[in-house]
Amino acid sequence: MISGTLIFVIATYAVMVWAFLWAKNRIFHIPVVVSVMLIDIGFPVYLVMNKDWYRRLIEQEEILSFMIWMHFILVLVLYALYFLQVQSAIKLMRGDEEARGEHRNQGKGILIARGLVILSAAMLIEPVDQV
């Protein structure tokens, strides 16, 4: 059974891909990408408030798991790409057309990194006991 959280992040990923492919429509592209970035930045707060992370990471000692650390590093890479993407977007908005290629390549990197973050998160989902 797929969790609601996973369905939500896959749906936001699909919207982000759509915004990437339709980047020429700035009225659509900019608000959608910024919204998904803000959702991703706030997502750890949601997880801490709604998931039993203490039991899982500390009591079950999953904090020592390679998969947890790989997921954490992928999230940090995604956040670093977001930071660079915002910088290149600001350059574009100021009229620096040379930043366009950099911005597009960072967008591709974000889609790859975010896909890997979602995949690694899906592999970390704790199965629910079925009766």
Per-residue tens of pLDDT for the chain, all 131 residues: 578 889 999 999 999 999 999 999 999 999 999 999 999 999 999 988 888 888 888 888 888 889 999 999 999 999 999 999 999 999 999 999 999 999 999 999 999 999 999 999 999 887 766 55
Tell how far CA 21 is from the center of its chain: 17
What six digits make up the tokens of 11? 């749906």
Domain residue ranges of the chain, discontinuous segments joined by +: 4-124
Label residue 126 left, alpha or beta by phi (over 0 means left) and psi (-120 to 50 means alpha): beta
* pTM for this entry: 0.88
